[in-house]
Amino acid sequence: MFDFEFMRTAFLAGGIVAVAAGAVGFFLVLRNLAFAGHALSHVGFAGATGSILIGFGAFWGLLAFSVAAAVAMGLLGDRLRHRDVAIGIVLALGFGVLFLSLYTASATEATAILFGNLLAIGSDTFWGLLAMTVATLLALAVLSRPLLFATLEPELAEAKGVSLRLVSVLFLTIVAIAVAEAAQVVGVLLVFALMVGPAAAAQRLVSRLGVGVAVAVLLAVLETWGGLALAYVTDWPTTFWIVLLSCLAYFLSLLRPVFASGVAAPARA
């Protein structure tokens, strides 16, 4: 399997993206914003299809629309109780179907946007994903303390001078970048599986923040690499196997109750 250069590139790129998806996804689930990742991917789909319609790369349109939508969601949903309204407003921007219907030059490119094409990632894209992952992880590390404070004790955090709106905007921008990366692996329709599945399973298995993030990242990487290996053996789509492994990991985690109940458990890290 590793005799082929495209497989080696796919394993490296998939692992890099999985690290970002697992780490960001953990905080996404912790903040009960799992649906935001799904919403951003749909908005990114509109950006990707619109971008190729006017002759630009699909990835840059996906990234630009996702980041713009994330900022809008953060500004509209500055308080947690308003987040569902903000997400609903952004999700309504479903121009992707229109742009896709107008774009008829290449069905293959449209399919790659929807379902991903990890095996087609080239060296240029790989280095771009690596740079984005490093930037995402650094930003998440810097934001993690106020983000955790604003997540677990929003009223107290605001009283202490933490801007909930700024934290929300910054975090959702990080999520948007991770979504754009994950879409390269599983496509915009199935980002939810790679962003949320490993994180949700990790939070059922462990209660400490640092360990939970590590488990989420490990699960995301193993599911991505396992999906690639199974796709090579069976000749079935890589995305199918990644999503299947993500679902299996979560269902298996249901068999083991989390060690400590309550959303405040990770705060002991």
Per-residue b/e over 15-46, b at no fewer than 16 CB within 10 Å?
Answer: bbbbbbbbbbbbbbbbbebbbbbbbbbbbbbb
Give which of 116, 118, 137 is closest to 126, Cα–Cα. 118
Letter for the amino acid at 244? L
Q: What is the DSSP string of the chain?
A: -TTSHHHHHHHHHHHHHHHHHHHHHHHHHHTT-HHHHHHHHHHHHHHHHHHHHTTS-HHHHHHHHHHHHHHHHHHHT-SGGGHHHHHHHHHT---HHHHHHH--S-HHHHHHHHH--GGG--HHHHHHHHHHHHHHHHHHHHHHHHHHHHHH-HHHHHHTT--HHHHHHHHHHHHHHHHHHHHHHH-TTSHHHHHHHHHHHHHHH--SHHHHHHHHHHHHHHHHHHHHHHHHHH---HHHHHHHHHHHHHHHHTTS--SS-STTGGGG-
What are the residues whose beta carbons fall under 8 Å from the beta carbon of 212, sequence distance 6 or more? 26, 202, 203, 205, 206, 266, 269
Provide the 10 A C-beta neighbour count for residue 3. Answer: 6
Q: In whole angstroms, what is the distance from residue 65 CA to residue 179 CA?
A: 11
Task: Please give the angle made by the CA atoms of 84, 194 and 212, to the nearest 5 degrees.
Answer: 85
Task: Count structural domains, the chain.
Answer: 1
pLDDT at 162: 84
Rounded (5°) CA angle 268-78-182: 70
Predicted confidence at residue 91, as pLDDT, reads 57
Query: What is the pLDDT tens value at each position of the chain, 269 positions in all?
Result: 888 998 999 999 999 999 999 999 999 999 888 877 777 887 887 788 788 778 777 788 888 888 988 888 888 764 444 455 555 555 545 566 667 667 665 556 666 777 777 888 887 788 988 999 999 999 999 999 999 888 888 888 888 888 888 888 999 999 999 998 888 888 877 787 888 999 999 999 988 888 999 999 999 999 999 999 999 999 898 889 999 999 999 999 888 764 444 444 444 44
Q: What is the pLDDT of residue 87?
A: 56
How far apart (Å, rounded) are the C-alpha atoms in residues 78 and 235? 46
Domain enclosing residue 205, as ranges = 5-268
Supply the CATH number for residue 232's domain: 1.10.3470.10
85 to each of 78, 81, 95, how far by Cα in Å?
11, 9, 19
